[in-house]
């Protein structure tokens, strides 16, 4: 490292200056500290309980300029320099802990998920620390963006997820509560996101009464070559169950079949569906991914203005 100084005063019209280099060697330094990390109103509070520093010796060698003179002073004050270092390091650590705590206090308690929902990411208990890991538990429930309360059951099982590529090292593991999925279904159902009007599909003939001519002849007879639309809506939030096998869900929904006759939307029949599906979740690299499959689909005629429908034929479509 380099050192220099310059000094002047109006009493002496000459500037006194000098410069040179210095090498510093610290021997036997030990720093110890005790911290607490706890939940405080949904955020993490980091506190420094104790901090100390011990320095066995500090060797400072000056070179250049009148270093031979300054070296005498440095050597004479070695103990005072050591004491100053032992006091300065804990003070600096305390400042950095305070700065880090301030950043933890600024962590958001909610994360928006689209326009209708937000994810409650506030902490619900003190972190659990071990020699090689830290366990954090957050609320994790979806909430409506308009702050409406979503009533979900208190007791829920957990679904554990782990990264297959990191399983041996146990780098990350997620325990997903059933209520997280339930709260999401409640919020999005309440916001009307489980209603869908289908008026365009790849096979467009199925959205014209001509495509139903031989399946529901009375529909074609009453509304020949009219375009159609399907109004699909869930009757209630999906029922979600989490088990060791994965995630099971049951969805109760209605499909209202309508025809577009002379610019007027006319509802002609309603079919009730019960959908049973299952899925699983896993961590793939930096993403939380999953799979879902249809286990069972049953349909029944809820009401009709065009007579009886052959549900088993409609269900195939």
Give the closest residue to 136 by CA, choosing from 172, 93, 181, 100. Answer: 172
Distance CA 60, CA 53 (A): 19
Q: What average pLDDT score do residues 270-292 get?
A: 86
> What pLDDT digit, counting tens, does each position of 5-31 carry?
888 877 767 788 889 999 999 999 999
> What pLDDT digit, counting tens, does each position of 161-175 carry?
544 444 455 567 778
Model pTM score: 0.71
Which has more confidence, 128 or 256? Answer: 256
| Phi, psi for residue 174 in degrees, rounded to 5 | -120, 130
Mean pLDDT score of the chain: 86
> What pLDDT digit, counting tens, does each position of 200-231 carry?
888 788 899 998 888 889 999 999 999 999 99
Angle at 175 (CA atoms; ends 173, 178), nearest 5 degrees: 155
**DSSP secondary-structure letter at 266?**
E
- Domains of the chain, each with CATH number or no CATH: 2-105 (3.15.10.10), 194-316 (3.15.20.10)
């Amino acid at each position: 490292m380099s050192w220099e100084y310059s000094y002047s005063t109006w009493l002496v019209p000459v500037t006194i200056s000098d410069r040179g280099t210095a090498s510093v060697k610290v021997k036997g330094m030990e720093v110890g500290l005790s911290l607490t990390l706890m939940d405080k109103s949904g955020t993490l509070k980091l506190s420094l309980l104790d901090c100390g520093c011990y320095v066995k010796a500090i060797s400072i060698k000056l070179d250049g300029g009148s270093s031979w003179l300054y070296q005498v002073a440095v050597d004479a004050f070695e103990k005072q320099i050591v004491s100053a270092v032992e006091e300065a390091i804990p003070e600096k650590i305390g400042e950095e802990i305070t700065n880090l705590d301030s950043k933890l206090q600024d962590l958001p308690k909610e994360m928006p998920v689209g326009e209708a929902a937000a994810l409650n990411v506030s902490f619900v208990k003190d972190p659990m620390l071990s020699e090689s890991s830290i366990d954090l538990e957050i609320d994790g429930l979806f909430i409506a963006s308009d702050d409406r309360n979503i009533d979900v059951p208190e007791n829920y099982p957990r679904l554990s997820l782990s990264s297959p590529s990191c399983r041996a090292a146990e780098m990350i593991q997620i325990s997903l509560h059933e209520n997280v999925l339930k709260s999401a279904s409640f919020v999005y159902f309440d916001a009307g996101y489980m209603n869908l009007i289908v008026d365009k599909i790849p096979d467009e003939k199925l959205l014209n009464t001509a495509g139903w001519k031989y399946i529901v002849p009375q529909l074609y007879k009453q509304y020949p070559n009219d375009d159609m639309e399907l109004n699909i809506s869930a009757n209630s939030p999906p029922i979600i169950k989490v088990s060791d096998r994965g995630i099971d869900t049951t969805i109760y929904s209605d499909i209202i079949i309508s025809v577009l006759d002379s610019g007027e939307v006319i509802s002609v029949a309603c079919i009730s569906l019960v959908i049973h599906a299952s899925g699983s979740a896993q961590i793939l690299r930096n993403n939380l991914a999953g799979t879902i499959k249809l286990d069972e689909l049953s349909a029944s005629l809820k009401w009709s203005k065009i007579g009886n429908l052959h549900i088993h034929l409609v269900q195939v479509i």
